[in-house]
Structure 1
Amino acid sequence: MAIHPIEFRYGTPEMKKVWDAENKLQKMLEVEAALAEAEALLKLIPEEAAHEIKSKASTQYVTKERVDEIERETNHDIASIVKALAEVCDGDAGEYVHFGATSNDIIDSSQSLLLKDSIEILQEKVERLARIVLKLADEHKKTVCIGRTHGQHALPTTYGMKFALWADELHRQYERLEECKGRLCVGMMTGAVGTTAALGEEGLEVHFKVSEVLGLPPVLISNQVVQRDNHAEYIMDLANLASTLDKMALEIRNLQRTEIRELGESFDPEKQVGSSTMPHKMNPITAERICGVSRVIKAYTSPALQNNALWHERDLTNSSSERIMLPESSILTDYILNLTIKLMEKLVFYPENIEKNLNLTGGLIMAERFMAELTRKGMGRQTAYAMVRKCALEANKTGSSLKDVVLQQEDISDYLTPEEVEEIMDPHTYLGSSVKMVEKVLDESKKWF
């Protein structure tokens, strides 16, 4: 019986496959095989035994069912894998399985393989999303819209600015994942307290060789575990990425509100239903799901940080929470990345509403420009600010346009002609360096991926 929404509702096949129990078992078997290979190369175990261990280190021979059966007796996951692998090996090869290792050597090294695969899936999708957003930035670098601060109309901006801003942030998230991968995805074969004592003088060489076989950099130093500041960094990077996706989806939700409706997610009226009782509804359900699931991802930062503080060389308090949060946060982050890609690919624009909202305040949004132009013409900045503020308050109170109120000022003609006032009122020509900044982002993005 399915219980968790990840089982039937959330997640992508590619990320679920990484964290599937069968794949996790396979990765642990691969670490056991790498250990045997390294030990044989260093003459610690017979070459034939290593060859046999490696040939049987597969879920084709070591089944999940058999491991679970043994674990019900031993109450120990890694000991169960070791026994299940040993019993399928011919001759006495099984006697050499897991020689010199501790359980967490297998867990942390195999987990590094899973996390590396997860990060690469996430990076591919972050890149894909960034490219979609960059394309939108290029297409809309001159699409003028109203900028809002504190939820209020502020100054003109462009949709290109919005999209370029998001693309730049997505690039930083990509870089964070790349940096995290180098610290987090490491090999470890250092024994019970990190000293490699059970492997004798060759212990460090075994550690290096196992990591090499697995294609991972060896951890520089450990105790019984790879230190959990690395895992906390991963969870915080996922939370940070989720916050970016949350930001993007929240903006789209706001801009899809009935009163604004400048853009929104696509809706198929032939098939899609917005409400079970209100036939007219077209809700931003994709964006809302992104925002909602992001909250769960961000919530894992607290246990991740707590897992860094363990008793002495290690206790078990980290492992139980990690069994939940590492797969869940990876799967859910990948899921909302997928949703955001679909959202941005099918984004719908309403140009008439963009223009209507731009002019909604009767020119009040051009008050800053009036102040700046009056100052350039010789009026003191403070005097100009006071005069324009007075005009803006009057326009807001009476419902007049800012232009009309300004033109009624006795001394305005000393500084501005009616033609200049008219030009100042055009929001499409008050964009500063916005187009250049978007083009700079587009140019820089050629080096990103």
Structure 2
Amino acid sequence: MSAAAIDHPFFTKLVGDEEAAALFSVEAEVDALLRFELALARAESRHGIIPAEAVPAIEAALNGFTPDVEAIATGLGNDGVVIPALLKQLRAKLSDDLRPHLHFGATSQDAIDTALALRLAKAIVLLDERLEQVINALDALEDRDGAVEVMGHTRMQAAIPVAARRKIRSWSDPLLRDRARLKAVGTDVEVLHLGGAAGTLEKFDGKGNLVAADMAAELKLRPVDQPRHTERDGIAAFASVLSLITGSLGKFGQDVALMAQNEVGEINLATGGGSSAMPHKKNPVPAEVLVTLARFNATLLSGMHHSVVHENERSGAAWTLEWMLLPQMVVATAAALRLASNLAQNISFNGVNRSV
């Protein structure tokens, strides 16, 4: 059982998303961390920073590695980061003379931030695909029902009749812009992090940028001139885009819920939630959840902006806050897109209710 509704066994079908949540599982995180360590060893070997014979041994230690999760959890509780306990298990698979060459010159944040970047790159692909699905579903809805006349409302009061396409485009056009924002922000998220203890690459014998470039090419990430241990604007910008996406979907959900009210009746729901007391009801559950997820992400976004304030060259407090918030925002966004796509395919416009 989880303390967070988004991955609670009951609530995950309502507000969670299994595919997105898998990107933040223990298995996904460890796999990404091992990819970092292997890419680091290979690049360092190519530039003479560690001996070439260390690489096959490191590859063998990493291949098929099964972590002792409980030991890593205990280590994280003591150290505040997962890397020391993970390295202890990995180095136990190496000979004494080769152990120092694993993770040489790197710091915990290099590995953790790069592992996050690898998983966020996958998250961006997932979210982009789902954005496309929602946009396509809304386009199909416009093609079918766009000419239907419905009542326009201003300040929650009936105004004048408008074509349904007027409402549909107010749902789809923001998503087109959100999709462009998501693509743009990817350049600041899919970044290789390599700086060493204080961001100076002091153990790389002047070859740190070469090592970073090689690692970035292998991991399909972007190298940057200066490590971003405390420069979190890119991560915060990504979180902002997530909140904008769910906000756009929340507007869609809010409109559908209002138009599906019995006394309005301008939208018909093909599916809906049941009631334990009133079996005649068809509750607009997906539309309501879109509003909830929009407000959820908007609330968490404030915390992500707080996490931009990293003190000096490294922060523990701000960094840990980021870990707690960002995965939930990604999962919430994926869930909202999944729900919105289904909702768009299961509504139809009935036309204006002249009694309104």
Give TM-score, length-normalised by structure 1.
0.74
Query: 2:234 corresponds to which residue?
Result: 230
Instruction: Report the residue type matching 1:329 in the other structure.
Output: M
Structure 1 vs Structure 2 CA RMSD? 2.0
Larger-gyration structure (1/2): 1
Query: 1:29 corresponds to which residue?
Result: 34
Q: CA deviation at 1:129?
A: 0.4
Equivalent residues of 1:118, 1:330 under 8 A apart: yes
Instruction: Map residues 9-408 of structure 1 onto 2, 5 A cutoff.
Output: 9-10=11-12, 11-58=16-63, 60-68=65-73, 70-71=75-76, 76-90=81-95, 92-222=97-227, 225=229, 227-267=231-271, 273=274, 275-350=275-350, 354-355=351-352, 357=353, 359-360=354-355
Change (3 A) 1:142 1:162: same
Change (3 A) 1:192 1:74: closer
Q: What is the percentage of aligned positions where both structures have the same residue? A: 26
Distance 1:165 1:108 in 2: 37
Q: CA deviation at 1:70?
A: 4.8
Q: Tell me, which stretches of 5 or more residues in structure 1 are unaligned?
A: 362-449
Instruction: Report the residue type matching 2:279 in the other structure.
Output: P
Change (3 A) 1:72 1:260: closer
Distance 1:150 1:216 in 2: 47
Equivalent residues of 2:61, 2:94 under 8 A apart: yes
Distance 1:178 1:75 in 2: 32
Distance 1:278 1:156 in 2: 32
Query: 1:7 corresponds to which residue?
Result: 8
Equivalences, count: 351
SS in 1 for 2:158: strand
Change (3 A) 1:226 1:30: farther
* Mean CA deviation greater in 82-91 or 142-151: 82-91
Q: CA deviation at 1:210?
A: 1.5
SS in 1 for 2:152: strand
SS in 2 for 1:199: coil
SS in 2 for 1:47: coil
Q: CA deviation at 1:141?
A: 2.8
Equivalent residues of 1:250, 1:288 under 8 A apart: yes
Instruction: Report the residue type matching 1:28 in the other structure.
Output: L
Q: CA deviation at 1:154?
A: 2.2
Instruction: Report the residue type matching 1:243 in the other structure.
Output: G
Q: CA deviation at 1:23?
A: 0.9
Distance 1:28 1:156 in 2: 57
Flag as ranges the 4+ runs of structure 1 deviating above 6 A: none
Change (3 A) 1:3 1:313: closer
Equivalent residues of 2:121, 2:190 under 8 A apart: yes
Q: Tell me, which stretches of 5 or more residues in structure 2 are unaligned?
A: none
Distance 1:282 1:240 in 2: 29
Give TM-score, length-normalised by structure 2.
0.92
Distance 1:124 1:107 in 2: 26
SS in 2 for 1:197: coil
SS in 2 for 1:119: helix
Query: 1:412 corresponds to which residue?
Result: none
Change (3 A) 1:203 1:245: same
Higher relative contact order (CA 8 A, sep 6+): 2
Equivalent residues of 1:22, 1:64 under 8 A apart: no
Q: CA deviation at 1:50?
A: 1.5
Q: CA deviation at 1:277?
A: 1.7
Instruction: Report the residue type matching 1:247 in the other structure.
Output: K
Equivalent residues of 1:173, 1:241 under 8 A apart: yes
Q: CA deviation at 1:59?
A: 5.8
Q: CA deviation at 1:93?
A: 2.9
Distance 1:35 1:222 in 2: 15
Q: CA deviation at 1:12?
A: 2.2
Whose helix proportion is higher, 1 or 2? 1
